[in-house]
Amino acid sequence: MSSGRENYREDVAGRANVEDTPELLAYYDELEALEAGALWTVANKIEPWEPQSSSVPMIWRYRDLREHVLRSVELVTPEKAGRRVIYLNNPGRREFAAAVGWLYSGLQVMHPGEAASAHRHSASALRFIMEGSGAYTIVDGHKMTLNANDFVLTPNGTWHEHGVEESGSPCIWQDGLDIPLVNTLEANFYEVHPDLRQAVGFAVDDMTKTWGNPGLTPGGGAWDKGYSPLYKYEWERTYEALKRYADATDGSPYDGVMMEYINPVTSGPVMQTIGASMQMLRPGEKTKAHRHTGSYLYQVAKGKGYSIIGGKRLDWQERDIFCVPSWAWHEHANLSDSDDACLFCFNDLPVMRSLGLYREEALADNGGHQPQD
Amino acid sequence: MSSGRENYREDVAGRANVEDTPELLAYYDELEALEAGALWTVANKIEPWEPQSSSVPMIWRYRDLREHVLRSVELVTPEKAGRRVIYLNNPGRREFAAAVGWLYSGLQVMHPGEAASAHRHSASALRFIMEGSGAYTIVDGHKMTLNANDFVLTPNGTWHEHGVEESGSPCIWQDGLDIPLVNTLEANFYEVHPDLRQAVGFAVDDMTKTWGNPGLTPGGGAWDKGYSPLYKYEWERTYEALKRYADATDGSPYDGVMMEYINPVTSGPVMQTIGASMQMLRPGEKTKAHRHTGSYLYQVAKGKGYSIIGGKRLDWQERDIFCVPSWAWHEHANLSDSDDACLFCFNDLPVMRSLGLYREEALADNGGHQPQD
Amino acid sequence: MSSGRENYREDVAGRANVEDTPELLAYYDELEALEAGALWTVANKIEPWEPQSSSVPMIWRYRDLREHVLRSVELVTPEKAGRRVIYLNNPGRREFAAAVGWLYSGLQVMHPGEAASAHRHSASALRFIMEGSGAYTIVDGHKMTLNANDFVLTPNGTWHEHGVEESGSPCIWQDGLDIPLVNTLEANFYEVHPDLRQAVGFAVDDMTKTWGNPGLTPGGGAWDKGYSPLYKYEWERTYEALKRYADATDGSPYDGVMMEYINPVTSGPVMQTIGASMQMLRPGEKTKAHRHTGSYLYQVAKGKGYSIIGGKRLDWQERDIFCVPSWAWHEHANLSDSDDACLFCFNDLPVMRSLGLYREEALADNGGHQPQD
Amino acid sequence: MSSGRENYREDVAGRANVEDTPELLAYYDELEALEAGALWTVANKIEPWEPQSSSVPMIWRYRDLREHVLRSVELVTPEKAGRRVIYLNNPGRREFAAAVGWLYSGLQVMHPGEAASAHRHSASALRFIMEGSGAYTIVDGHKMTLNANDFVLTPNGTWHEHGVEESGSPCIWQDGLDIPLVNTLEANFYEVHPDLRQAVGFAVDDMTKTWGNPGLTPGGGAWDKGYSPLYKYEWERTYEALKRYADATDGSPYDGVMMEYINPVTSGPVMQTIGASMQMLRPGEKTKAHRHTGSYLYQVAKGKGYSIIGGKRLDWQERDIFCVPSWAWHEHANLSDSDDACLFCFNDLPVMRSLGLYREEALADNGGHQPQD
Ligand SMILES: [Fe+2]
Ligand SMILES: [Fe+2]
Ligand SMILES: [Fe+2]
Ligand SMILES: [Fe+2]
Ligand SMILES: [Fe+2]
Ligand SMILES: [Fe+2]
Ligand SMILES: [Fe+2]
Ligand SMILES: [Fe+2]
């Protein structure tokens, strides 16, 4: 019987399996008039056996995007555009302007002497610097200088603005935000700074100098915000940490030598909605496949290789960006036998963990490797 | 110029305001081919000034629903239906089967001697008992007896099943779940119990007897799960608590005498994704309006009155269910001068809090009361 | 060779075993002149194989103490005495005025109409009510009415005072404090209230009515002090809790049906330095022996029986007080076959736990029972 | 009347002030026979207005101690002595073998090729390296190489042993332990390793390489022990941290540029009973006086200057050790106008904080400086 109504039946004990009848269809109409419905018609749809992400595995190659990003400088001013950003659209998530899951990402460009106006919002943001010199970010009055592969936070509710010094060169960085998530949770607020510019109230890079020291905290230092006081994580120290850790660990079979960026006060994620990590694939390293809940967006910080994601091989090199959707199998390989490769990743892992929704699984079959399409 | 492309312009400093030109439209086409877009065309849309919920203020009256719920007993068996539930559709959230925001709710009915099969899922669930005697729930081998206005948890990942004793009467309860949230976060897993039934492995109501004592914990008791070990909150004790607290407090101007159900081990929410509260409006009490982020679904546990939500007056009496969408103004009134009224509420407040997204505001104008439509 | 110097030798590999020689003795003199010493002469003394408490197992019988406590009323006024208290001296701890370990305890008496002056100190205190009606305590402006077996806190740094209403009867209660500990840690401060009396600023018993409800917290309630906001734990509810818990548990082999009084906000101890528990020995119950670090002082709240502590049998009845020193074997027995017996205990368990020093051990031999002296 | 009994009277409202009478003295005798006493005779003694430490401000000069420490090599073998250590006796704390308060400290010497046997205890320990090369410590199978000013932990309950490589030079380090505290809390246990030696099971310095990286944790790293997994804090990185932090802070008026060594997982103290810090006094810096509860033992890691402690000036240079007793006023001065001075300190601050006993006060008079004796 074709009724035009949804009815997701499964012939499995414990699952809904009710056939449409004229009586039931009439009943469904009555329920609809009361803004109600019969659960058994949709139960199997809304209680799936396991997640099936609407995002697709995807890579954005820097060689394709870079010229378009640079061209935006000629096309729009920062004043009119707000920020000159080319954002990434996952084919399955276009309606949310999301690169994967509920995460937004874009590439922003600024020329020497330019600055974007200060504002704040409930969404949390990060930057990962791709190229250029002289870039800076100001967060709640703390100014930070930025170089390639530096990772910087502009957390939920902080005033922030970016610019490039007159003495610098054109700069491009990746923005990462939870805008889609905060919007869909109906909790996003936006405010333009009353002066459009912040005053810098502290020594440059003071937060990194104060909070970015191993095993030491500032005497009497107190910090109880929901995000890291270490606003900037410098590449030089991060890379040194990876190399030190590589001396002490066998690494993860799925991720090689992997470290999580943390809030040094809590040892938890850098922000309440966005986590980040940097991992090193040693020369020739090929990892095994696993999968987990949460959405992940990678940028290649160093080296070249490939990842197999959901059975699809994506070859990457420095500055390329690719995603792993929730519950998609994935494994990584470094194609160089002499150099390490480093992958920066930001994700919604803190959301998965805070809400008790994190789950992971190793691929048992085929020596831990996916068959490829 | 009409291009068919989105372009959300605002003539405000710090916001995007770029006019479409043929050159830009061509550029946008090129970006689209790269699975990318220009942020300034959508920035004002994805960064709204404040939340505008897609849910509408809504009431489901028990006198309308009850007969339909009871009728489902004649129409479907528990075996075929899985569970015999009529769920609530917010007009703005039908595609997600949500009653408000990302929260699902339904009314489930069972007859004496019936039982539903055991299963578990990543979604978290609660029940609030509406009528009937002899109902029980089993959670991970702990059996609980249920009476009107009792509140019971079946948390994320626990095996659970429900039934009504042969000696009981037809029972109706409200189910509340975060199914829409867990689905949209792409983290839902579902499993049918291998035996379709659990063995009861503990004294009946043992968790309430063990963990539900004021200011006392079981000696040597340890609990580190993400949810409350106090699976059942009995109405008699809850109502007594409200009356005791009413003796000691002036109450909240927005909520009267309000208490939150908690995990006694952490003093935090009962589950990681769903919070719940019970509030008493004293005879004649009329609260002032405020608003906050998060989605809220109320059931009238006792009494009669009305709430004004988003400027719309909704009159309610015992067993009616109504919602407050995110950031909607709301205020409550008890229409009796002699009896108190009690409102049960479940919500996604723990999500708002864990993710740093909770915000609230009191209505300043008009003596704190909304103008009504 | 007899040198008059300490030298604790043990003939065990890894322990110090250095014989005194004239050369060494001369060397020790030189060290002494520099305010230094040779570790190997004292190492075996200061690094014992296991704790040997300086406290002795001890019982103070109420039938002996009561008349002396009452007689103090004739002998001194509250004004001159500060507080009219007979304190308990453990024979091994007289120099510290301690009943066991670093815990002080005394019996305080007040007549109707009397009141003691308000003060505060770094030491934490508790009361356990023994007899009489009309007693009250005021803590930081919160007044509490007290009855037999009620347990009340006057934590570290809070203004407190006690009295008995004109309409009451002579009252006796047990005081418990960590005065010896706080003194030996050189951290005790004392202050007399500038007005000698506090104003009562809240509804009587408001803290118990607000925070003493199972599974519920006051809406918007916030509490971040180091001690419980539930200043008073009422006997009626405590005894009911024990009976409920007894229905749900087999109990501990060492302690019967035991519950810990907690700070409801943290589920941790009631104060940072003092913990407390109430345990029920079911009719005829005889527990097995175990031992643990920490010092424990018991008061018999109900019933009669005996405890074997460090091999010594101590028979007790209602209101008797006895102690278990650190690392002493102990086991308890209820001598009634029809009635339960209840033991109140306060201790320094929170100190042991906070400092990582808690350790426990069950007696393996002899069916878990101590041989008696 | 001279009775021979204690009676601490004060003529202050709210304090005990009871004159001895024949009747009272007889009463006191009766109480004594019951192992009891009258509180009012000792109340003013056991409830002092503020702490008066039994420790005295004290300095141990390395030029005095060093030769004695080295001479012990000729006098005793490690096998017979257990460890070759000269410990520091505070004149007020000799009975506890304590350098200040409840803290023990000693100087240990080892020659190349020597090793001490492995053991463990409930007391927590640390080392601060003073001179020599080739020293190592093994903690639970993790081997660490040690150089001057390195700070290393051997926490409560861990197997540990020390030695100097054959290729090294004679090494001296400072031991710091809470032995007196753990003894007085009657919670100390001691165990010799069954093999007298541990097997090394990890890469050398693996814990520092894994956990000692700023703002980064090992992926999937979990650590829930009560002490820091970062067993060794290297001087080079610590000094670099101080210099970085000095660029970002004005420093503390009482302590100059001060950082606390922390457990990187919790941001709390390195062990549950012992905290540690390193502070830099900038060239010519003279701090103001303050005081706080807790006991503090300093070693001069670099430079020369003086401290005024309890009104007494103590001049110090590199490797000298001095103490600040609880609640003693103290201030520090760097006597060089060109070089910084660095003070290492270990203390019982974690005990003060965990137990709610920390209190501090700035000196208001005399521009914040103490009058000197
Ligand atoms: Fe922004
Ligand atoms: Fe992964
Ligand atoms: Fe379910
Ligand atoms: Fe509200
Ligand atoms: Fe007191
Ligand atoms: Fe015990
Ligand atoms: Fe040791
Ligand atoms: Fe200090």
Q: Which residues pair with C100 in a beta bridge?
A: C103
Subunit partners of chain A (3 or more CB pairs within 8 A): B, D
Q: How far is CA D145 from CA B265, D205, D207, D239, in A?
A: 43, 7, 12, 18
What is the rounded CA–CA span in Å between residue B160 and residue B198? Answer: 8
Residue A2 above 60 pLDDT?
no
Single-letter amino acid, residue A236: E
| B127–chain A nearest CA distance, Å | 16
- How confident is the prediction for chain D on average, in pLDDT? 96
A290 near A362, Cβ under 8 Å? Answer: yes
The 8-class DSSP code of residue D132 comes to -
Complete edge-to-edge strand list for the sheet that includes strand B296-302? B58-60, B321-324, B296-302, B341-347, B275-281, B257-261, C216-218
Measured between beta carbons, the chain A residues lying within 8 angstroms of D255 are 219
Q: Report pLDDT digits (tens) over A319-329.
A: 999 999 999 99
Size of interface C-D (CB pairs under 8 A): 294
Exposure b/e, C29-62, CB count within 10 A at least 16 = b: eebeeebbbbbbbbbbebbeebbebbbbbbbbbb
Q: Which residues pair with D346 in a beta bridge?
A: D276, D297
The shortest CB-CB distance from A326 to any of B80, B88, B186 is to: B186
D24 near C91, Cβ under 8 Å? Answer: no
Q: What is the mean pLDDT of residues D203-215?
A: 97
Q: Which residues of C touch B (CB under 8 A)?
A: 202-203, 205-207, 209-220, 228, 230, 233, 237-238, 240-241, 244-245, 247-249, 252, 255, 258-262, 264-267, 277-279
C51 near C316, Cβ under 8 Å? Answer: no
Q: Report pLDDT digits (tens) over D79-128.
A: 899 899 999 999 999 999 999 999 999 999 999 999 989 999 999 999 99
Which candidate in A153, A213, A254 is best for mutational testing of the D interface (most D CBs within 10 A)? A213
Q: What is the mean pLDDT of residues C323-352?
A: 98
| D71–chain C nearest CA distance, Å | 9
Which candidate in D151, D210, D216 is best for mutational testing of the A interface (most A CBs within 10 A)? D216
The shortest CB-CB distance from A245 to any of D213, D261, D266 is to: D213
What the block records as the tokens of D278 is 């390193």
How close is the Cα of D233 to the center of ligand 4, in Å? 50
List helix spans (H) across A14-54: 22-33, 39-46
Percentage with pLDDT > 70 across chain A: 99
| A210–chain B nearest CA distance, Å | 24
User: Given an 8 Å threshold on Cβ–Cβ distance, is A264 in contact with D267?
Assistant: yes
User: Given an 8 Å threshold on Cβ–Cβ distance, is C47 in contact with D185?
Assistant: no
What is the rounded CA–CA span in Å between residue C188 and residue C102? Answer: 14
Question: By CA distance, what is D32's nearest residue in C?
Answer: C89
Other residues' Cβ atoms within 10 Å of the Cβ of residue C371: 9
| B232–chain C nearest CA distance, Å | 9
- Residue B198 CA from chain centroid, whole number: 27
User: Given an 8 Å threshold on Cβ–Cβ distance, is A264 in contact with D218?
Assistant: no
Measured between beta carbons, the chain D residues lying within 8 angstroms of C16 are 80-82
Percentage with pLDDT > 90 across chain A: 95
Q: Which of B176, B17, B198 is nearest to B119 (CA)?
A: B198
Q: Report pLDDT digits (tens) over A31-78.
A: 999 999 999 999 999 999 999 999 999 999 999 999 999 999 999 998
Quick one: pLDDT band at residue C2, thresholds 50, 70, 90? very low
User: Given an 8 Å threshold on Cβ–Cβ distance, is A267 in contact with D262?
Assistant: no
A265 near A223, Cβ under 8 Å? Answer: yes
What is the rounded CA–CA span in Å between residue D199 and residue D88? Answer: 32
Measured between beta carbons, the chain B residues lying within 8 angstroms of A28 are none
What is the rounded CA–CA span in Å between residue C186 and residue C99? Answer: 19
User: Given an 8 Å threshold on Cβ–Cβ distance, is D49 in contact with C190?
Assistant: yes
What is the rounded CA–CA span in Å between residue C314 and residue C328? Answer: 14
Helix (H, G, I), strand (E, B) or coil at C76: coil
User: Given an 8 Å threshold on Cβ–Cβ distance, is A261 in contact with D237?
Assistant: no
User: Given an 8 Å threshold on Cβ–Cβ distance, is D46 in contact with C180?
Assistant: yes
How close is the Cα of D368 to the center of ligand 8, in Å? 13
Give D81: exposed, middle or buried? Use CB within 10 Å, 0-12, 13-18, 19+: buried
User: Given an 8 Å threshold on Cβ–Cβ distance, is B190 in contact with A356?
Assistant: no
What is the rounded CA–CA span in Å between residue B94 and residue B236? Answer: 36
Question: By CA distance, what is B71's nearest residue in A?
Answer: A27
Residue D299 above 60 pLDDT?
yes
| D151–chain A nearest CA distance, Å | 11
User: Given an 8 Å threshold on Cβ–Cβ distance, is A216 in contact with D261?
Assistant: yes
CB under 8 Å to D67, separation ≥6 — which residues? none
Give A191: exposed, middle or buried? Use CB within 10 Å, 0-12, 13-18, 19+: middle
D63 near D30, Cβ under 8 Å? Answer: no
User: Given an 8 Å threshold on Cβ–Cβ distance, is B219 in contact with C260?
Assistant: yes
Give every residue of chain B whose pLDDT is below 70, as ranges: 1-3, 373
Residue D133 above 50 pLDDT?
yes
B187 near B157, Cβ under 8 Å? Answer: no
Q: What is the mean pLDDT of residues C151-159?
A: 98
Measured between beta carbons, the chain D residues lying within 8 angstroms of C39 are 81-83, 85-87, 106
A269 near A275, Cβ under 8 Å? Answer: yes
What the block records as the tokens of B166 is 């042969």
Q: Which ligand lies nearest to the CA atom of residue C328 in the structure?
A: 6
CB under 8 Å to A239, separation ≥6 — which residues? A149, A342
- How confident is the prediction for chain A on average, in pLDDT? 96
Helix (H, G, I), strand (E, B) or coil at B247: helix
Q: Which ligand lies nearest to the CA atom of residue A360 in the structure?
A: 2
Q: Report pLDDT digits (tens) over B144-161.
A: 999 999 999 999 999 999
Measured between beta carbons, the chain B residues lying within 8 angstroms of A227 are 356
How close is the Cα of D254 to the center of ligand 8, in Å? 7
Residue A1 above 70 pLDDT?
no
Measured between beta carbons, the chain D residues lying within 8 angstroms of C327 are 186-187
The shortest CB-CB distance from D46 to any of C35, C183, C357 is to: C183
Q: Which of A182, A325, A348, A343 is nearest to A274 (CA)?
A: A348
What is the rounded CA–CA span in Å between residue A295 and residue B184? Answer: 12
Q: Report pLDDT digits (tens) over D305-318.
A: 999 999 999 999 99
What is the rounded CA–CA span in Å between residue B113 and residue B189? Answer: 29
Which candidate in A6, A23, A47 is best for mutational testing of the B interface (most B CBs within 10 A)? A47
DSSP B194-246: TTSSPPP-S-TTHHHHHH-STTEEETT----SSS-S--EE-HHHHHHHHHHHH
How close is the Cα of A106 to the center of ligand 2, in Å? 22
User: Given an 8 Å threshold on Cβ–Cβ distance, is C50 in contact with D90?
Assistant: no
Which residue matches tokens 């005779």?
D41
C264 near C336, Cβ under 8 Å? Answer: no
Q: How high is the pLDDT of residue B3? A: 58
CB under 8 Å to D320, separation ≥6 — which residues? D59, D60, D61, D62, D299, D300
User: Given an 8 Å threshold on Cβ–Cβ distance, is D122 in contact with C359?
Assistant: yes
User: Given an 8 Å threshold on Cβ–Cβ distance, is C122 in contact with D357?
Assistant: yes
User: Given an 8 Å threshold on Cβ–Cβ distance, is A216 in contact with D255?
Assistant: no
How close is the Cα of A287 to the center of ligand 2, in Å? 10
Measured between beta carbons, the chain D residues lying within 8 angstroms of C48 are 183, 188, 190
Which value does ipTM take for this structure? 0.96
